[in-house]
Each structure stands twice: as C-alpha cells, then as structure tokens.
Structure 1
Amino acid sequence: MIPGPPTHNPAGQAAGGIIKPTAADLLAAAGRTIPDLIGPGLRVLFSGINPSLYSAATGHHFARPGNRFWPALHGGGFTDRLLHPSEQHLLPGLGLGITNVVARATARADELSTDELVAGGDLLTDLVRRIAPRHIAVLGVTAYRTAFARPKARLGPQPDTIAGVPVWVLPNPSGLNAHFQLPQLAEEFARLRTAVSPPS
C-alpha cells in the first residue's frame, strides 16, 4: 500500500510540495544530471532517454508538466494511486527503479548525438549488470534502436537482453510524443506489468 499524497502545500509551491522552477532555473539546469533511483531486488528498472531541464531543476524523474510517465505507471497497474514526481522515493519499495540512457539534461531528447546514446547504452549495460533487476524497460524505441544497435526493434518484449536481463521497450511518455495518448501508454505499461507480475 502506498502512503497518501502530501497534503501540505504552501503558497508558491506546486502540488506535492516542490517549487516550480523559473525560466532561469531551467536554463541553468542544462547539462545537469540527477541520481538514479535504484535499490536491491528491483522488479523493473525503467530507463528514460535523458532528463528534461525540468527534472534536472527539481531533481525528480519525469517531472516536466505534460510527461505521462506517472499517470501511465498508475494506469498500467504498477501503483495503486497516481504518484507525484516528488514521491519517486516510494518506487524502490515497490520493486521499481528509474535511470536514463544518457545522464545529461536537455530541453529535448533530439539534442542528443548518436555517440552519446551509444555511450549511454554501454553505461546502462554496466548498471544493469551491477544491480541485476529482473527486467529493464527502455522508454523510447528510437533511443533503444540507436543505443543498442537494434534498428528493427519494436515496442514490447525484445529478443535480446541487456547484461542477461530481459528487455521491454515502452513508448516515450513525453508530452511531445503525439503518437501515443495516455490510454495507449497505460495499455503498454499494463502489458509489461502483466509480464513481470503474472496473475497467480
């Protein structure tokens, strides 16, 4: 059971108690990194492409307004309520973690070079080898194709592994990804949840 959402909301703060970054904060966040959200015995390690400026400014994964990761995670059945990005610390207790293929924050994922994505794929492989999650889910098929030299990869379970760990590719939950609306994203997340936690 997930604890209830924060209720204290001072003036000037966004929901969940985090201060909304200013335009200057976002500019200053370019190139920053944020820590991975990991723990022992993860069922799924979710890997975004790279942090947004909003995430880098707040220190919370998938924090940019309009990003559908948290609603899709809930809609797919991984959490029993919608979590705010500031509650990301609850995920490892549910067997879930978050990392990124590329660590540096940018305004858009298409600012990343092919070399960065390939190098990020190597670093992600090292992380997966070290923490051994049961599954790795990469959020973005184009980034997965580039980072792991799998040009024909499609959404869903992959025939290949990363460091021996089964891989699932999910759609990029960014609000800029118009190909998938929230109901379709939630369906893809639900497919993964069923695969990693089949009904008993």
Structure 2
Amino acid sequence: MEAASDRTIEDVLGPHLDVLFCGINPGLYSAATGLHFARPGNRFWPALHRSGFTPRLLSPAEQDLLPSYGLGITNVVRRATAQAAELSAEEFREGGRRLAALVAEVGPKVLAVAGVTAYRQAFGAPKAVIGPQRSRIGGAAVWVLPNPSGLNAHWTLDGIAGEMRRIRDFLSGGPWPGHCPGAEPDALW
C-alpha cells in the first residue's frame, strides 16, 4: 500500500448529476484499488443505500454505476495519503478551486462534501457545520456530510444515512433546509 502514496483516483462523473459526492482525499487502500471509499469499514456505500440513493448496496467496484442514479464522486484533494493530516493548507485551497471549476463544468444540483474540516479548509469557511450551507459552489447547492470513515466515531451509519436522506428530500422537491428558516443558498464561488 505504501506504493499507492501520492496516486490519484479518477472521478466518477456523468451527465445530469443530481449529487456530486466529494471525499477529502483518497486513502492508500482506495488508491491501491483505484476505487472511491474502498477501505473495509468505510460507511459511504452502506449510507448511500440506506438513504435511498441506490436500490441496493453497491460495492466500491460498482462505482461506475453511480451516474445511472444521477450520482458522481470526486475528492477535494486528488493525492492519496495514509491520513488527511498529511495534506497542506495550500493543497486544500487548491483543491477547493479545482472542485469549484469541476462543479461549474459538470453542473450537479448538489455538491455533498464528506468531511466538515476539509470543507472548512478548502473554502475558507471556518464556522461551517454538518448540513446544508448558504453558499453555492460552481452553481450547485452545497451540503456538508459527516466523514464516512470508520474512524469517525462521532457519527453512526444511521446518522450519516440520515444526512444523505435530507439531500434526497430536498431533491424530491422539499424546501432548502438552510440554517436560517427559508434561506436559499447564496452565490459564493
């Protein structure tokens, strides 16, 4: 797995995305396999299914099916590391700029960033919390999700799936559940 350090993983994209999910950066296990959220114990795939985004539990090896459900995956920082703590502040800022450009190009309805600390660093939003944000990035509404890593003991699988389900509710015609009642996201990026 050490050989996977600094590798990148291809984005999973398609036309007409409802949600572009965004991880922090690939871990070494994911980089070694070339698959997003691939490490056993990562709760992304089970949460995605429990939230209702997919009709069955997909394995990381089935990530190419996501665009058929209106979903995609990318990362804030493309470079693989053993821990996100190995990433520099500049890498996060550069990743934020790259992500904003990608979102503007691909045009998802929602950008869902899995990791509040990564979102804060990439977009200069030190007070951001889990949930919908008032800002837009590249034209997309923004939602910050809990990091689905099994190391994130603060959030359960059901809690992560619940946040994803709130995105589905919004996409199904529900109101934007902003931090201020009735608040629609502002343009930022």
TM-score by length of 1: 0.85
Structure 2 partner of 1:36: 11
Deviation beyond 3 Å, 4+ runs, structure 1 = none
**Among 162, 174, 187, which residue is 2:137 paired with?**
162
Q: Percent identity?
A: 63
| Cα deviations by residue, 1:56-78 (Å, 9 ceiling, x for unpaired) | 11111000111000000001110
Aligned amino acid, residue 147 of structure 1:
A
**Gap regions ≥5 residues in structure 2:** 175-189
Matches of residues 144-183 of structure 1 in structure 2 within 5 Å? 144-183=119-158
**Gap regions ≥5 residues in structure 1:** 1-25
Distance 1:186 1:132 in 2: 24
Q: How many residues align?
A: 174
**Among 40, 50, 67, which residue is 1:65 paired with?**
40
Aligned amino acid, residue 68 of structure 2:
G
| Cα deviations by residue, 1:85-141 (Å, 9 ceiling, x for unpaired) | 000110001100000000000111121111110110000011011111111100001
Structure 2 partner of 1:17: none
CA RMSD, 1 decimal: 1.0
Structure 1 partner of 2:100: 125
TM-score by length of 2: 0.90
- Mapped pair 1:187 → 2:162: yes
| Cα deviations by residue, 1:130-187 (Å, 9 ceiling, x for unpaired) | 1111111000011101100011111111000002211011000011111101111111
> What SS class does the counterpart of residue 72 from structure 2 fall into?
strand
Aligned amino acid, residue 170 of structure 2:
A
